Structure 1
Amino acid sequence: MSTVDKQLETVRATIADEVPNRISISDVKYEGPELVIYTRDPREFASDGDLIRRLASKLRKRITVRPDPEVLSPADQAREEISDVIPEEAGVTDLDFHADTGEVVIEAQKPGIVIGRHGATLREITQKVGWTPEVVRTPPIESSTVQNVRNFLKQEREDRRDILERVGRQIHREPMSDDEWVRITTLGCCREVGRAAFILSTPDTRILVDCGDKPGAEDEMPYLHIPEGLGSGATSIDAVVLTHAHLDHSAFVPLLFEHGYDGPIYCTEPTRDLMGLLTLDYIDAASKEGRTQPYDSEMVREAIKHTVPIEYGDVTDIAPDVKLTLHNAGHILGSAVSHFHIGDGLYNVAFSGDIHYDDTRLFDGAVNDFPRVETLVLESTYGGRNDYQTDQGDSERDLKRVINETYERDGTVLVPAFAVGRSQEIMLVLEEAMRNGDIPEMPVYLDGMIWEATAIHTTYPEYLRDDLRDRIFDEDENPFLADQFEHVDGGDDEREAVADGEPCIVLSTSGMVTGGPITSWLEHLGPDPDSSLVFVDYQAQGTLGRRIQNGQNEIPVGGGSGRSNTVSMEMNVETVDGFSGHADRQGLENFVRTMNPRPEKVLCVHGDESATQDLSSGLYHEFNMRTFAPQNLETFRFL
């Protein structure tokens, strides 16, 4: 008998001692980080609202209870009884029954009403029908990505359960070594922006944190093939943790499965969906531009199938000696500061990912409240000594000024923006400005993936600020459904017609002008001195956006189909600071200043050479802590 099986025997004995005799336990399994209890008496389990909580506290595990398929009510009968229990105002749109696991997936417009106070309605459902309810939100704006992910995971439930059982046994295996040390190896994003990737190692565990590309550089991947990475084989990596879905953090996650990785990916649920959207677009863009695809769509599906979603604040076992907790990073939807608790109080490491410290229209500011953090790996995108962004209120006034001036010239305002994050922030500013009369009402055209990314935002309003979430719940108040927003889906002909038409605003990907529909818009609008190009996102070195920002007035457009033209940039070029999803120098310092206790060491990463060195020096002098501006391929040992 393996050590995991012996452990499960002990767990079963503990459960038997705690559970009343009237409740039978037919099986106990690990599925990923959760302990799953199968019972022939799900109604009895549901009748005691504290039983699962007591078991979770006793066993120190996340627990899910599932009924044996043999004791379930017929699906047709259960459907009627569930409909009687759930209040009509919940807006249930679908019930999907899965007899293999005894779960019924309830899709509703207002999941909170389905759940009920402290889960009361869910317990009532189980008491009535025996099925275990799982609740998901009906997107207020239909999202093909969300629907495709949900349908795919439904089709792959059997494979996914096998994956989770294997992962569960791996997590709960006995530690193999008595040694105690922690190491971080930098595989990318050191003294540069992009290709984020780190290996966090202990004697028993190897975890890859992020695996992204470098904006503006086609062939610069993270150093995955060193011994600490894939050089020892993909199976030597126990888990992948994804801080957020932007491609400079996620682009090469599917490539891991091409190389034989078959383990879990831990991230938030919206990060999973956005990763699918962005990586599929990534390989599609490579194909259209005549570049070799690094992987195919099947690998994206494998990545989604292996994802284990974690909610903010949930402490989750991901290895025998590592617990992971994700916290809001304030950067984009689902972005997370990743906190690793290693050993039995041995050491704590936090990876900031990309953070925004102050509140924005979309998100609350990044969380930095941890019980302990000895080492912080901190982004430094705006870490330079002079990297202070404009106040958000001033930024919004500046943007409205540019729009009004361009409107008076009968021009078009073109805003290159990341599909995820900045586009939705700008949409909220524009909707309010038109509603209040600060700018004229005019069409706002959304090109590229912006509309689909916006639909995903409305699927997960619990990750947004409270006031915005409340507006999204009210169909008449949902700002993303304002009449002025129009989705561009007619290709280049529609873009040309819009460019030749009445004054308007265009939000288009890509945010750094590295490809996508923005190049088509520049072809149509670049020669027009009445129009304005407004940068609201960070422009990385080497990108066309940075070159235009620095004054280049002859720019290449087209490509992929054999077409390559040069356009003379006559349009007005403006940069409006303050909309970035990254903290500025002050925000980064405040993030560290308000940590209690402060970390002993800080590794400054994800910034160009001067930014990382400036921030490292500044934190050292300000807080008298050990700081580093590492290069790629350095290893730091702690303990």
Structure 2
Amino acid sequence: MGSEIQEIKNTIVQRLPSRVQVAKVEFEGPEVVIYTKNPEIITENGDLIRDLAKDIRKRIIIRSDKSVLTEPEKTIDRIHEIVPEEAKITNVSFDEVTCEVIIEARKPGLVIGKYGSTSREIIKKTGWSPKILRTPPITSEVIQRVRRTLRKNSKERKKILQTLGNRIHRELPSENEWTRLTSLGGFREVGRSSLFLQTSNSKIMLDCGVNVAGSDDKSSYPYLNVPEFVLDDLDAVIISHAHLDHSGFLPYLYHYGYEGPVYCTTPTRDLMTLLQLDHIDIAHREDNPLPFNIKHVKKSIKHTITLDYGEVTDIAPDIRLTLHNAGHILGSAITHMHIGDGQHNFVYTGDFKYERSRLLEPAVSKFPRIESLVMESTYGGHDDVQPSRNDAEKELVKTIYRTLERGGKVLMPVFAVGRAQELMIVLDEYIRHGMIEEVPVFIDGMIWEATAIHTARPEYLSKDLRDQIFHMGRNPFISDVFHKVNGGNERQEIVEGEPAIILSTSGMLTGGNSVEYFKQLCGDEKNSLVFVGYQAEGSLGRRLQKGWKEIPLKEEGKTNVYNVKMHIKTIEGFSGHSDRRQLMDYVRRLSPKPEKILFCHGDNYKTLDLASSIYRSYKIETKTPMNLETVRIQ
């Protein structure tokens, strides 16, 4: 490690103009940080840093040495002089550990300026490196909490990153001779997704989820008791997206002493924090405590390194990671790993949607190289062909129209992240155009907070939606038709009140406020329950889909039976997963073609059906491992 940092430092010093005063060069996680007494000289020459980063094949960050920083009060004054008022700065704070000034603004683009001119001017006039964050139009408690945690623990986080820098850049004990993959959960089933990738030098976990519909510990959590999985040896955890079946068990690792990094996109960090905290809260309320608590969620935030799509970073001595858009939910990512000196390229799709939606662009299908692929198969069965999005929307409008016409209420249990926002865009548009009667749309549970996080990250949304928000000035998420539900009293008024549309979590009726609405609305045939997302086996949602008319539910130590008279409707086509045709089409369009495909995240027969169809159609080797199987992929 010492020789490598010295070598890089020498290269940097040689390549920088002689007038640049380099104070120190450090590894902080995967990044090389140059501390200098005159940062403006470097920042004014962007090509120099880009070329240098390319040569040393590392990400480079420029920061000022503490000795040249302007005092905070003067810095705030200068920032307000430099940044145009239209940027609407809402907060300025300082991180003295990283020498960054954190500027939160409604229009962050104006703080950056054309080609970064305004942020360069801030560095020049104050010495502080600006870290520019968007102030969401809807206040997000989770984003504030995450930002507060990072600010308060800046010194600790720097130590974490320095330790990680040493680990990533350690000497390789051996050549990279093999790569193997162990399925810890989510194979031939949906839920508790977790993969364990090992090379002769590194160990990486991909996803660490829970099965929210699991009946006990054995069916709820990944198999972390396999002999080859040793927490202290783990180099990194990568989280593909925020849903609990992919991120819900992550705090457990920190509860049991994991000190390493988590890699994901920024929206994934914020959304999984929201979902994990809610998961803990629901478990506590239902007197079914989880094997971790809030402080372990906070610990995971301190260890999380966020990456943008397309950003290449070292995560181990022999592995480079790049995340690509998966089109499933906000910030969802397809993981590409470049292993060894290019000996093997591995891709894990996580959950993905190979179709443009109102919310997101379709999943990426082109990679620099790919030898092996692990791919989801949720809708991999031969008959899993979903209607077009247009047809699904028409069916939804028809169902809502009929329900409102007979004076009923529409209850839509939805996942707080993804489906809820997709439906909000649809409902806003159809109500605005008079195709649905203008009734209140009540937003309950975590949906409002999740939507606030969407408004903070418009750069991850579809191009059409971004254009609508930025150029037409119309943000569907803050439409007047939506009403946030604040507590039980309001819920009772909604149930007893006029016709309305209710969007509430949880999406599978496994707990949360949607179950409370169901209990009160299910006995009235005027009402409708509309499913627009996947209902796992064992969930209340799946039982209703199967036609159960008497539902026993445990409450306060006794079981009550609810008679279902409301209309039950399932509308396919809104799913964030690719259907059978899209899965086949994705493999057809993959570039380059992988040599081997393994399938996960699907019921047993769907996984097998998709694997055999892809083998027959494209002559690619396919495998359908069971949980606890290890497959050599290189």
TM bin, normalised by shorter chain, reads over 0.9
Q: Displacement of 1:80 after TM fit?
A: 1.7
Contact 2:97 2:158 in 1 (8 A): no
TM-score of the aligned structures, taking structure 2 as reference length? 0.98
Cα distance in 2, alignment partners of residues 621 and 15 from structure 1: 53
The AA in structure 2 aligned to 1:526 is: C
Q: Give me the whole-angstrom Cα distance separating, in 2, the residues matched to 1:62 and 1:346.
A: 22
Partner residue, 1:111: 108
Q: Which residue of the partner structure matches residue 552 of structure 2? A: 556
Give the structure 2 partner of residue 278 of structure 1.
275
**Displacement of 1:548 after TM fit?**
0.4
Is contact 1:449–1:509 with CA below 8 Å preserved after alignment?
A: yes
Cα separation, 2, equivalents of 1:443 and 1:102: 48
**Cα distance per residue 1:183-212 (max 9 Å; x no partner):** 111011111001100001101100000011
Q: For 1:15, which of 9, 12, 27 is the aligned residue? A: 12
SS in 1 for 2:599: strand
1:614 aligns with 2:609: yes
Match of 2:518 among 518, 522, 534: 522
After alignment, is 415-424 or 108-117 more displaced?
108-117
Q: Does 1:341 align with 2:338?
A: yes
Bigger Cα displacement from structure 2, 216-225 vs 378-387: 216-225
Helix, strand or coil at the partner of 1:311: coil
Paired with 2:200 and 2:485, the residues of 1 have a C-alpha distance of: 52
1:149 alignment partner AA: V
* Aligned pairs for 1:302-451 within 5 A: 302-451=299-448
Does the CA-based 8 Å contact 1:380-1:606 persist in structure 2?
A: yes
Superposition pairs for residues 19-418 of structure 1, below 5 Å? 19-218=16-215, 219=217, 220=219, 221-229=221-229, 232=230, 234-418=231-415
Q: Post-superposition shift, 1:476? A: 5.5
Secondary structure, aligned partner of 2:187: coil
Q: Which amino acid in structure 2 is aligned with residue 572 of structure 1?
A: H
Q: Which amino acid aligns with 1:29?
A: E
- After superposition, the Cα gap between the structure-2 partners of 1:110 and 1:613, relative to the gap in structure 1 and judged at 3 Å, is same
On the 8 A contact 2:183/2:627 being kept in 1, the answer is yes
Give the corresponding residue for 1:585.
580
Alpha-carbon distance in 2 for matches of 1:443, 1:635: 52
CA distance in 2 between counterparts of 1:37 and 1:20 reads: 14
Identity, % of aligned positions: 50
Other-structure match for 1:603: 598
Is the CA contact (8 Å cut-off) linking 2:378 and 2:602 kept in structure 1?
A: yes
Secondary structure at 1:80 match in 2:
helix
**Structure-2 separation of matches of 1:298 and 1:474:** 41
| Alpha carbons 1:31, 1:168 under 8 Å: kept | yes
Give the secondary structure class of the aligned counterpart of 2:46. Answer: coil
> How does the TM-score come out when normalised to structure 1?
0.97
Contact 2:95 2:154 in 1 (8 A): no
Distance 2:287 2:329 in 1: 30
Residue 632 (structure 1) shift: 0.6
CA drift of 1:413 comes to 0.4
Change (3 A) 1:169 1:253: same
Question: Which has the larger displacement, 107-116 or 339-348?
Answer: 107-116
Matched residues in 2 for 1:108 and 1:556: separation? 50
How far is 1:176 from its partner?
A: 1.2
Once the two structures are TM-superposed, the CA of residue 292 in structure 1 deviates from its matched residue by 2.5
State the shift of 1:86 in Å: 1.5
CA distance in 2, matches of 1:450, 1:273: 14
Structure 1 unaligned spans of 5+: none
Please give the root-mean-square deviation of Cα atoms over the aligned residues, in Å: 1.3
- String of CA shifts for 1:408-451, please: whole Å, max 9, x gaps: 10000000100000000011110000011111000001111010
Structure 2 counterpart of 1:578, one-letter code: G
Instruction: Give SS of 1:362's match.
Output: coil
1:563 Cα deviation (Å)? 5.6
Contact preservation (8 Å) 1:199, 1:228: no
Partner residue in 2 for 1:452 = 449
Task: Give 2:46's aligned amino acid.
Answer: G
Query: C-alpha separation between the residues in 2 aligned to 1:473 and 1:563?
Result: 53
Matched with 1:572 is 567
8 A contact 1:69–1:101 mirrored in 2: no
Query: What are the Cα deviations for residues 12-69 of structure 1, in whole angstroms up to 9, with x where unaligned?
Result: 1111111111111111111011000111111222232322212212211100011111
Change (3 A) 1:96 1:11: same
Which residue of 1 is the match for residue 631 of structure 2?
636
Matched position secondary structure for 2:398: helix
Q: Distance in 2 between matches of 1:515 and 1:340?
A: 37
Partner amino acid, structure 1, of 2:382: R
- Aligned residue for 1:293, secondary structure, equals coil
Q: How far has the Cα of 1:623 moved from its partner?
A: 0.3
In the alignment, is residue 497 of structure 1 matched against residue 454 of structure 2?
A: no
Matched positions, count: 631
- Matched residue type, 1:551: G
Measured in 1, the distance between the counterparts of 2:330 and 2:541 equals 24
Partner-residue secondary structure (3-state), 1:50: helix
CA 568–67 in structure 1, closer or farther in 2 if over 3 Å, else same: same
Distance 2:376 2:256 in 1: 28
Unpaired stretches in structure 2, ≥5 consecutive residues: none
Conserved in 2, the CA contact under 8 Å of 1:522 and 1:557?
no
Mapping of 1:474-485 within 5 angstroms? 477-485=474-482
Q: Distance in 2 between matches of 1:399 and 1:199?
A: 40
Greater Cα offset, 508-517 or 212-221:
212-221
CA contact (8 A) 1:185 1:228 kept: no
Contact 1:69 1:100 survives alignment (8 Å): no
CA distance in 2, matches of 1:76, 1:117: 26
SS in 1 for 2:196: strand
Greater mean alpha carbon deviation, residues 38-47 or residues 360-369: 38-47
Secondary structure in structure 1 of the residue aligned to 2:173: coil
CA contact (8 A) 1:332 1:420 kept: yes
